[in-house]
Amino acid sequence: MELGQAIWRDVNRINKQNPLIHNITNYVVMNNTANALLALGASPVMAHAIEEITEMIASADALVLNIGTLDNQWISSMYGALNAAEADNTPVIFDPVGAGATKLRTQTTIHLINKCYPNIICGNGSEIKAIAGAGNKTRGVDSLDSSGDAIEAAEIIAERYNTVVVISGEYDYVIDSDNKIKLKNGHEMMGVITGMGCTATAISAAFAGVNDSYFDAAVHGVSFLGIAGEIAAEYSAGPGSLQVNILDEIYNLNEKQIEEKVKFEKI
């Protein structure tokens, strides 16, 4: 099956099954993440109280952990969520926002992913390199760095944690121990919207809720958002309207657009 067709098949599954995506994510992106998931046909839930985590995750089809506005209370919730997800075999998608920027973020990331290997880890180049131990300094949390080293770092992580790694940036990469793909959709103005990487993570979780191959789920999710952004950028005057129009495109994208636009290269 061609990639475009496979993405479209999963979009239809999402619309039919409305996978419930549990998000423990950062304050900055909560509204947009929820709206992106709804526009795609998934059901978002945002909940962090340790008292309800297990029960919430029992209904969830995937769990998103995003450490963008971390503190100790939320770290406890994330541990609780990982325990519950592990017990239920719920797919876990992890976004290490700002790993490398502070010890708290780097160490929390390492502890959490050692506790329970996530099925997909989505970060920018600096974050992925920080996890691999390259120890470089992340600049801000919307960094677009994804140079060569990041791919090597992703390979190390994929192997070490038996996981799928997404590197977001000008081009996006999806890497596991067997496969490597470069995804060429998207538009540079997407980097001027806060939390686009977080949206990619959440959308990949929705695809993981309907597709057992986490590699495929990540490829489909990231490509889908890239195509939505690319089309929306054609008629958006700036990043404000682009953020809005991407939601419209997530809602409206059709099979033909996806098949015509999808652009990738196996590497």
Residue corresponding to tokens 């797919």: 91
Q: Pick the closer one to its own copies by CB: 105 or 187.
A: 105
Spatial distance between the Cα atoms of 182 and 150, rounded to a whole number of angstroms: 13
Return residues touching its own copies (CB under 8 A): 18, 20, 26-32, 34-35, 38-39, 43-49, 51-52, 55-56, 59, 68-73, 98, 101-105, 137, 139-143, 192-195, 236-241, 243-252
Q: Pick the closer one to its own copies by CB: 134 or 144.
A: 144
1: nearest Cα among 177, 250, 211: 211
Please, is 49 exposed, middle or buried when counting C-beta atoms within 10 Å of its C-beta (0-12, 13-18, 19+)? exposed
Min dist CB 188 to its own copies, Å, is 12
Q: Strand 172-175's sheet: what is its strand order? A: 43-46, 20-24, 62-66, 92-95, 120-124, 164-168, 172-175, 180-183, 264-266
Spatial distance between the Cα atoms of 157 and 230, rounded to a whole number of angstroms: 29
For residue 76, give the H/E element and its range.
Answer: helix 72-88
Q: Pick the closer one to its own copies by CB: 171 or 251.
A: 251
Q: Pick the closer one to its own copies by CB: 201 or 245.
A: 245
The DSSP secondary structure of 212-256, one letter per residue, reads: S-HHHHHHHHHHHHHHHHHHHHHT-SSHHHHHHHHHHHHHH--HH
Q: Pick the closer one to its own copies by CB: 25 or 204.
A: 25
Min dist CB 23 to its own copies, Å, is 9
Min dist CB 225 to its own copies, Å, is 13
Q: Pick the closer one to its own copies by CB: 134 or 244.
A: 244
Strand partners for 21? 44, 62
Min dist CB 145 to its own copies, Å, is 12
Q: Pick the closer one to its own copies by CB: 58 or 267.
A: 58
Min dist CB 71 to its own copies, Å, is 4
Min dist CB 239 to its own copies, Å, is 5
Please, is 72 exposed, middle or buried when counting C-beta atoms within 10 Å of its C-beta (0-12, 13-18, 19+)? exposed
181: phi > 0 → left, psi -120 to 50 → alpha, else beta; which? beta
Min dist CB 115 to its own copies, Å, is 19
